[in-house]
Structure 1
Amino acid sequence: MGLDFMDNSGVRVDYENALINAGFGKFHIYLLIVCGMIYMNTAIGITIISFVLPSATCDFRMSSSDKGLLTAAPMLGMLVGSYWWGCLADTKGRKTVLIATLLLDGFCGLLSSVAQYYYLFMLFRFFNGFGVAGAMGICFPYLGEFQPTKYREKILCWMEMFWTVGIIALPAIAWLIIPLNVEIRHGWFLFHSWNLFVAICAIPSLLLGCLLFLFPESPKFLIECGETEEALEVLRHMYQENTGKGQTEYPIKSLKERESISTISRRTSKSVRTLSMKKPKELKMLMSEIWQQTKLLCKPPHLRNTVLTCAIQFGLTTSYYTLMIWFPELFYRFEEFEKHNANKSASVCDVSSVVLEPDVNGTLVYDEYCDGPTIDNNVYIHTIIIGISCIPTSLWLPLCVHRLGAKFFLVFSLVVAGTVTIGLYFVHNSVENLILSCIFEALTSLGISTVYCVMVDLFPTNLRVMAAALSLTFGRGGALIGNLIFGFLIDLNCVIPIVLFSTMLFISGFLCLLLPNTGGQALD
């Protein structure tokens, strides 16, 4: 059953037409900017650890396996947090949970910047990942539920550009801050430039969390909860922002609740959104609602899409987040190798162990490594170039998605990225490594964003964020495993992770062929 509204003439209007009557303009642009900045911030939050690895090696006395554990910590947080935040967003509200995730990420980021011990820093980065998982999984459904069908797919695809800006901004910020000669010592407390870098990158989360208070809850979600008058108020506000006219001039005057409203709202007069997690009885009702919705995802007609999206996310995310986080480290190792071996070519595997070599007793030697600058300027330049290389695909997606379809972009990006991953084994110098890294980053980030766009159309409102969160859980599980594997094998046998990641991308590309076509239907 669709969502029915009454216009001035008493004629029922469905939700799609109610959105059309609210207009398309300033409100949607402002919302796109804010959600885009949230998505950009998640790009920074996920990849920040890649610049911390070389910079903090001396402070934390890290080996490659230690670095693998550190990169895995935020992935573990994302694994734990993805479904938790998804369940809350589908029961307590998109906006409320987005604010909570952003504030958590910001505060934990600030705390991690002053952490003096490896395991304490790892703990705070775990909670950073826990918060980022929620923001990433919710910003697409939140944005999409405000969009009419005509604009929804294109607007969601523009989010890829914000991700690209994030991966360009991060190395630029790192380049400005990490080389600074910052050293604050006070007893046991030590604060270097990389600590300052971590602190500065935490601030946007706090600002965005506060900014989001100015925006309304998704009207689609409010209707699902039975809060029809509140949904109508949001639509009137959108109308006023978009047209400049008074809210009273909005032609839709009343709406009829949909029949698929939450079971709690049907049984009681309470909206599921108002249930308190502090009251045992209401918490039990909330958990029951979450369980009922989870079971719906695992039964027809949603089971097939659930399995496909989880499998695609696992393969894509394992490869993407592992290699993306380790790229600056690989660039650094190439720079170190070529600095000491002029005019000599080497593959990724050949330069794997150039950073810290064990002495005769098997102990890692840090003194010589820690004497000079931690990161060469070329590492920053190469990482910025990788981000810039994503601009063409970020423009190609929203401009051509209606003509080629989201499925085309998914299959194309994953298959070519899998081929490029194999090519990493055959590179002979840092330039070849940079070229393949640019292609890999551009295509896999395109695939990540397109999956989120597709999922907005694949699932109904009451399951949308939860489905995205479940697939993200599988993806983060893969990223966790991938970072652990890469950290332990990069110094021993780097062929195995390269073959493994390329295979996963090929399988994910094949599974994308089985997805239904999306983008042409109104939201359920």
Structure 2
Amino acid sequence: MSLDFLEDFASDYENALLQTGFGYFQLLLLTICGLIYMNTAIGVTIISFVLPSATCDYAMTSTDKGWLSASPMLGMLIGSYFWGCLADTKGRRVVLITTLLADGIIGVLSSIAPMYFIFMLLRLINGFNVAGTMCIIFPYLGEFQTTQRREKILCWMELYWTFGIILLPGIAWCLIPLKINIGSGIFFFHSWNLFVALCAVPSILLGLWLFALPESPKFLLEHGESEKALEVLAHIYVKNTGQSRSNYPCTTLRESIRPLQRDGEANIDNYRLENNSSSELKRLFLEIWYQTKTLYKHPYLKNSLITCAIQFCLTTSYYTLMVWFPEIFQRYDDFEKTHPGTPASVCDISSIVTSNTTFVDCQSEIDHTVFFHTFIIGLACIPTSFWLPLCVHKLGIKFFLVFSLTAAGFVTLGFYFVRNSFENLILSCIFEALTSLSISTLYCVLVDLFPTNLRVMAAAMSMTFGRGGALLGNLIFGFLIDLNCIIPIVLFSGMLFTSAFLCWLLPTTGGDDLD
């Protein structure tokens, strides 16, 4: 990406960042951000084990499960742009801390929800908070990296997402089979409730840990706080080199020229000076309005529209199938127990298993093979998680996007042709490995496509479209899986092919002229 009016600032800041070196601080930051991303993977997919576990407790039909799986996506749809706007105006670190702490507290409360509606509402709020974490963590990590290292460092985040996908079924396998039956009146607490509660605790711990980290120096400099930005860079220098603060060679930093000023828009800083009597909320909305308009003007309009469309198509397919995998595994297990040796597709087992029951698969226990199969899916992502950061500079990030999305489209079509649980597992592993790779890779691209004061908002805008697709996808899948499941399979496959085509239209990223 070429931004002529930011070249001086970029080289100035780049030089200051280069002087800090690369070492302990960046590795510590990658670890913390990676753990946050891993925790996000758990938070997004935790509902997949609740669907089969809480069926009897909440008397859920397939449609009810569709609404429940869609509720976090609705929260993410609402929260993505809200938190993205705050992060681009108030700071990355403060929003990350807020969303993590809120996610943990609400997660614990949801574990003791006595009714289906209350649980669904709390999971919606969880999704609202998780959205903030997901759209901010990549820009926050990327703004501490030099242009040369940024892309590769961000690509390593995919490995942490994979660890989350592996860890979740492991935790579920340890906790959900436990015989915990506490209840009085409408209140109940079973093993799956404990599972939900314990999965919420890391969010609180990580939120507290973030208090020890600084705000992004790029954000500080972008918002006129050059002295604070310089202090952060000096702190990084001390951590990496072990030398004293006085040895840091940079003494001043030039502030950036904002795109808003260049484009002739009203200067928000002048607005602040001339309208001190205005409310803080009004000033915040004005900033959001100007930055939103900037995203949909030259030179950002094309990239904004393409990334939003890619997110919509990719996320619709990925999050819908990922959330429903354990439920499908459970249905295959039930079918093969009652119809041994009988081949059946995903659509066949759904229609047969549900034909004689009021509630879909109403039982409190999940078969151990469900945990094992989901665990295997996570392990299948490890090769691609290493392949991405090790080869991204050789093959290019656009190659990974186009290849993985195209292959995932064909794999999705293949779900209609599977005839047993083993074939379903193989395709599920390939699908998860390819699409999770695409999700993380797209976040890396978003960091490079937009300048500092717009990148979180751009990521949030695209995530808003993505979560809208995930919400729609879960509702469609929950409604049609028992009626005509070929429709969502073909629909999701087509969306993945569309995403692959749109990725061809994205500009090449990772060059030295990036902001």
TM range (shorter): over 0.9
Q: Aligned partners of 1:3 and 1:218: how far apart in 2?
A: 19
Q: CA deviation at 1:247?
A: 1.2
SS of 1:185 mapped into structure 2: strand
After the TM superposition, which residues 19-58 of structure 1 pair with which residues of structure 2 at under 5 Å, given as runs? 19-58=17-56
The residue type paired with residue 453 of structure 1 is C
Q: More displaced, 409-418 or 15-24?
A: 15-24
Match of 1:441 among 429, 432, 435: 432
1:472 is aligned with what amino acid?
M
Describe the superposition over 1:387-411 as per-residue Cα deviations: whole angstroms up to 9, x where unpaired. Answer: 0000000000000000000000000
Are 1:209 and 2:203 an aligned pair? no
SS where residue 347 of structure 2 aligns? coil
**Counterpart contact for 1:2–1:14, Cα < 8 Å:** no
Q: Deviation of residue 269 (structure 1)?
A: 6.3
Report whether the alignment pairs 1:104 with 2:84: no
CA distance in 1, matches of 2:198, 2:15: 44
The C-alpha deviation readout for 1:109-151, integer Å capped at 9, x for no partner, is: 0010000000000000000000011100100000000000111
Matched to 2:269, the amino acid is S
Alpha-carbon deviation of 1:264?
A: 3.1
Of 279-288 and 194-203, the range deviating more from structure 2: 279-288
1:385 aligns with 2:376: yes
> Any idea what the Cα deviations from partners look like across 1:338-397, whole Å, max 9, x if unmatched?
0111111110110013554456xxxx158x943xx5210000000000000000000000
Any idea what the Cα deviations from partners look like across 1:47-86, whole Å, max 9, x if unmatched?
A: 0000000000000000000000000100000000000000
Partner residue in 1 for 2:386 = 395
Matching residue within 498, 507, 510 for 1:507: 498
1:462-487 Cα distance to aligned partner (Å, 9 max, x none) = 11000000000000000000000000
Q: CA deviation at 1:91?
A: 0.2
Pick aligned residue for 2:232 from 206, 229, 234: 234
Instruction: Give the letter aligned to residue 218 of structure 1.
Output: S
The aligned residue for residue 198 of structure 1 is 196
The alpha-carbon distance between structure 1 residues 518 and 346, as it changes in their structure 2 partners (threshold 3 A), is same
1:473 paired with 2:464, answer yes
Measure the CA separation in 1 of the matches of 2:337 and 2:324.
Answer: 20
Residue number in structure 1 paired with 2:395 = 404
Letter in 2 for 1:488: F
Separation in structure 1 between the aligned mates of residue 181 and residue 60 of structure 2, nearest angstrom:
20
Aligned partner of 2:488 among 472, 485, 497: 497
Q: Report the structure, 1 or 2, having the larger helix content.
A: 2
Alignment of 1:35-434 (within 5 A): 35-260=33-258, 263-268=267-272, 281-358=279-356, 364=358, 369-370=362-363, 374-434=365-425
SS at match of 1:351: helix
Q: Does the CA-based 8 Å contact 1:357-1:365 persist in structure 2?
A: no
Aligned counterpart in structure 1 of residue 478 of structure 2, from 476, 483, 487: 487
| C-alpha distance in structure 2 between counterparts of 1:461 and 1:447, whole Å | 23
How far off is 1:260 after superposition?
1.6
Hey, what's the Cα distance between the residues in 2 that align with 1:2 and 1:233?
22
Query: What per-residue deviation string (whole Å, max 9, x for no partner) do you get for residues 237-281 of structure 1?
Result: 0000010111111100012222228733355569x9xx9xxx962
Superposition RMSD on alpha carbons, in Å? 1.8
SS in 1 for 2:90: coil
AA aligned opposite 1:470: M
Alpha carbons of structure 1 residues 390 and 248: separation in structure 2 relative to 1, 3 Å = same
Is the deviation greater in 350-359 or in 289-298?
Answer: 350-359
Shift of 1:183: 1.2
Q: Counterpart amino acid of 1:264?
A: I
Unaligned runs of 5+ residues in structure 1 are 6-11
Check the 8 A contact 2:59/2:359 in 1, yes or no: no
| Distance in structure 2 (CA, Å) of the matches to 1:385 and 1:37 | 21
SS at match of 2:351: coil
Contact 2:443 2:459 in 1 (8 A): yes
Residues 522 and 36 (structure 1), Cα distance of their counterparts in 2 relative to 1, 3 Å cut: farther
TM-score, structure 2 normalization: 0.95
| Structure 2: runs of 5 or more not aligned | 261-266
Distance 1:238 1:285 in 2: 33
In the alignment, residue 403 of structure 2 is paired with which amino acid? Answer: F
2: distance between equivalents of 1:268 and 1:419? 53
Residue 186 of structure 1, CA deviation: 3.1
User: 1:2 and 1:252, CA in 2 relative to 1: closer, same or farther beyond 3 A?
Assistant: farther
Aligned partners of 1:382, 1:448: CA distance in 2, in Å?
22
Question: Displacement of 1:188 after TM fit?
Answer: 3.1
Q: Is the 8 A contact 2:148 2:512 kept in 1?
A: no
Q: Distance in 2 between matches of 1:219 and 1:365?
A: 54
Q: Distance in 1 between matches of 2:273 and 2:318?
A: 46
Partner secondary structure for residue 191 of structure 1: strand
- Secondary structure, counterpart of 1:252 in structure 2: coil
Give the direction of change, closer, same or farther, for the CA distance of 1:405–1:3 in structure 2 (3 Å limit).
closer
Match of 1:8 in 2: none
Conserved? CA contact 2:47–2:69, under 8 Å: yes
- For these two proteins, the number of residue pairs brought into alignment is 505
Give the counterpart letter for 2:231 in structure 1: E
One-letter code of the match for 1:497?
A: P
> Structure 2: how far apart are the matches of 1:212 and 1:237?
16
Q: Partner of 2:350: helix, strand, or coil?
A: coil
Aligned-partner Cα distance in 1 for 2:380–2:278: 52
Q: Does 1:518 align with 2:509?
A: yes
Secondary structure of the 1:241 match is: helix
Correspondence for 1:16 among 14, 17, 29: 14
> How far apart in 1 are the matches of 2:507 and 2:257?
26
One-letter amino acid of the structure 1 residue matched with residue 135 of structure 2: G
Q: Distance in 1 between matches of 2:284 and 2:173?
A: 47
C-alpha separation in 1, matches of 2:463 and 2:271: 32
